[in-house]
Amino acid sequence: MRLQSYACAYPSLRESLFVSTTPTVYDVAQQSGVSIATVSRVYRNPDSVRVETRERVLAAARALGYVPSGNARGLASRSTGVLGLCFPDYSDPDAEAEAIEAEEEDAATLYSDQIIRGMERAARRHGYALLIAASLEGGPESLVAKVAGRVDGFAVLARTVPTQELEVISRRQPVVMLAGPREGTDHLDHLDHIEVANFDGQHELTRHLIEDHGLRRPAYIGSAEESPDVEARFRGYLAACRSGGVQVSDEPDLRVAMMTQAEGQRAVDVLLAREGERPDALVFANDQLAVGALHALQQQGLRVPEDVVVTGFDGIPLSRLVRPALTTVRQPMLRMGEEAVELLIKRLTGARDAEPVSVMLPVTVVRRASCGCGREKDAGRGRHGRH
Amino acid sequence: MRLQSYACAYPSLRESLFVSTTPTVYDVAQQSGVSIATVSRVYRNPDSVRVETRERVLAAARALGYVPSGNARGLASRSTGVLGLCFPDYSDPDAEAEAIEAEEEDAATLYSDQIIRGMERAARRHGYALLIAASLEGGPESLVAKVAGRVDGFAVLARTVPTQELEVISRRQPVVMLAGPREGTDHLDHLDHIEVANFDGQHELTRHLIEDHGLRRPAYIGSAEESPDVEARFRGYLAACRSGGVQVSDEPDLRVAMMTQAEGQRAVDVLLAREGERPDALVFANDQLAVGALHALQQQGLRVPEDVVVTGFDGIPLSRLVRPALTTVRQPMLRMGEEAVELLIKRLTGARDAEPVSVMLPVTVVRRASCGCGREKDAGRGRHGRH
DNA sequence: ACCTAAAATGAATGCGCTTACAGTCGTATG
DNA sequence: CATACGACTGTAAGCGCATTCATTTTAGGT
CATH, residue B321: 3.40.50.2300
Q: Which residue is nearest to nucleotide D16 (CA to C1')?
A: B72
Question: A315 near A287, Cβ under 8 Å?
Answer: yes
Question: What pLDDT does residue A188 have?
Answer: 61
CATH, residue A66: 1.10.260.40
Question: A313 near A345, Cβ under 8 Å?
Answer: no
Tell me the pLDDT of chain A averaged across its residues: 83
B349 and B323 inside one domain:
no
Question: What pLDDT does residue A385 have?
Answer: 53
The confidence band for A376, taking pLDDT boundaries of 50, 70 and 90, is: very low
The reply to whether A24 has its C-beta less than 7 Å from any atom of strand C is yes
Question: What pLDDT does residue A319 have?
Answer: 83
DSSP string, B230-295: HHHHHHHHHHHHHHTT----SS-SEEESS-SHHHHHHHHHHHHHSSSPPPSEEEESSHHHHHHHHH
Question: What pLDDT does residue B215 have?
Answer: 96
* CB hemisphere CA count around B46 (13 angstroms): 11
Q: A-chain residues within 8 Å CB-CB of B88?
A: none
A24 and A64 inside one domain:
yes
B217 and B89 inside one domain:
no
End position of a domain, from candidates B76, B98, B119: B76
End position of a domain, from candidates B57, B76, B95: B76
Closest-approach nucleotide to residue B49, Cα vs C1': C8
B212 and B301 inside one domain:
yes
Q: Is the pLDDT of residue A37 over 80?
A: yes
Is the CB of B356 inside 8 Å of chain A's CB atoms?
no
Instruction: Note whether B317 contacts A320, CB cutoff 8 Å.
Output: no
Q: Number of structural domains, chain A?
A: 3
B231 and B300 inside one domain:
yes
pLDDT in tens, A158-197: 878 878 788 888 888 999 999 866 555 445 667 889 999 9
Question: What pLDDT does residue A29 have?
Answer: 95
Pairwise CA distance, residues A271 & A221, whole Å = 9
Share of residues in chain A with pLDDT > 90 (%): 59
CB atoms < 10 A from the CB of A114, how many?
Answer: 21
Beta strand A381-384 with A363-366 is antiparallel
Say what angle helices B51-64 and B25-32 make with each other, to 10 degrees.
120
Question: A366 near A328, Cβ under 8 Å?
Answer: yes
CB atoms < 10 A from the CB of A91, how many?
Answer: 17
End position of a domain, from candidates B76, B91, B117: B76
Q: Which of B2, B57, B64, B67 to mutate to test the interface with A (most CBs of A within 10 A)?
A: B67
Task: Identify which of B182, B122, B131 has the alpha carbon closest to the alpha carbon of residue B153.
Answer: B131
B10 and B107 inside one domain:
no
B124 and B261 inside one domain:
no
B13 and B25 inside one domain:
yes
Q: Give the residue on A whose Cα is nearest the Cα of B320.
A: A103
B359 and B369 inside one domain:
no
Give the gap in angstroms from C-alpha A288 to the nearest C-alpha of chain B.
15
SS3 assignment, position B96: helix
Domain residues for the domain of A34 are 4-76
Instruction: Note whether B130 contacts A129, CB cutoff 8 Å.
Output: no
A224 and A304 inside one domain:
yes
A148 and A72 inside one domain:
no
Residues 6+ apart with CB under 8 A from A272: A278, A300
Question: What pLDDT does residue B351 have?
Answer: 74
A57 and A170 inside one domain:
no
How many contacts does A have with B, using Cβ atoms within 8 A? 183
Q: Which of A72-81, A90-99, A218-227, A312-321 has the lowest mean pLDDT?
A: A90-99
Question: What pLDDT does residue A9 have?
Answer: 31
pLDDT below 50 — which residues of chain B?
1-19, 93-94, 98, 101-108, 140, 185-186, 375-382, 386-387
Query: For A330-355, what is the mean pLDDT?
Result: 90
Instruction: Note whether B67 contacts A172, CB cutoff 8 Å.
Output: yes
Pairwise CA distance, residues A237 & A279, whole Å = 15
CB-contacted nucleotides of strand C (7 Å): 7-12, 14-20
What is the distance in angstroms measured between the alpha-carbon CA of A61 and the sugar C1' of C17?
15
